[in-house]
Structure 1
């Protein structure tokens, strides 16, 4: 399912209320809606000029809504859903947020993953091999994918007020319009 308009994407993001990305998520965890808001807010604070990175943080886990329980394929599913509306860079960052976790697990073995991320790491391929990590580091979007991943891990604080989804509508509209404008230019 692709989000073909900002309204459709906003509906999907609103539908994330009460949905958890891992079984057993209870009162001590945030739902996908809060997680999206917190991740995007962290990226806005750290990278205020990079609207596409912020929006990637907002939409990165939509795959958990689209096919619950798909820890392995959720990033690709979310990327496919947002690519037509938000463009290649946002979709690619969303797609890379799982490989970025595997990369960090290999490059920073002292780094403690949150419990839910540690549980899914092995299903997602485990820490990268040296060759995989070297190849990942060569990707032009690797650094931004790691930035997204770090915000993803931190964006799960119970009770943190990260604003409301409607605050993100103008940013979504701007990114979508920018993608549409670039896409229209490439037709000529």
Structure 2
């Protein structure tokens, strides 16, 4: 599935309400919708100018609704779905969020050499911090303008290339 409009993405994000996931393969299940809002809100606080990073936090969990698989599979599904609408950077950040065991030395070296490694670590930290309930993260509609901004920026860049 490829998302082509903010409306499609908003619909999918709304559909996450009530879906449960167990982050990192263990621990207490969390509501995917609430978790996405909390992750994005934490990134908004820690990286207020980086709208793409915030949006990656908002959409990183949608792969759970897109198909079967493990954390890496869900991350790949979500990354592929958002790429046409939100661009390569958001897609790559989402893909780097695959849950799994420890990295092999080769995987660790590849990650550390990735230019997005620092942003991916920030996203992972927000993702883990968002597992705690009680953070007032607002409502999904609060993110519509940010999603439209990132989508419009990506569309302009596609037109220039």
Answer yes or no: same fold by TM over 0.5.
Answer: yes
Task: Indicate the residue corresponding to 2:74 in structure 1.
Answer: 74
Task: Indicate the residue corresponding to 2:20 in structure 1.
Answer: 20
Larger Rg: 1
Task: Indicate the residue corresponding to 1:139 in structure 2.
Answer: 114
Ranges of 4+ aligned residues in structure 1 off by more than 4 Å: none
Q: Does the alignment pair 1:154 with 2:129?
A: yes
**1:70 Cα deviation after fit:** 3.4
After TM superposition, the score normalised by the length of structure 2 is: 0.92
Which residues of 2 match residues 29-178 of structure 1 at below 5 A?
A: 29-68=29-68, 70-98=70-98, 121=100, 126-178=101-153
Deviations 1:63-96 (A, max 9, x none): 0111255333000000011000000000000001
Task: Indicate the residue corresponding to 2:2 in structure 1.
Answer: 2
State whether residues 21 and 69 of structure 1, in contact with CA within 8 Å, keep that contact through their aligned partners in structure 2: no
Q: Structure 1 residues 70 and 131 mapped into 2: Cα distance closer, same or farther (>3 Å)?
A: closer
After TM superposition, the score normalised by the length of structure 1 is: 0.79
Q: Structure 1 residues 20 and 176 mapped into 2: Cα distance closer, same or farther (>3 Å)?
A: same
- Write the distance in 1 (CA, Å) between the matches of 2:153 and 2:160: 11
Contiguous gaps of at least 5 residues in structure 1: 102-120
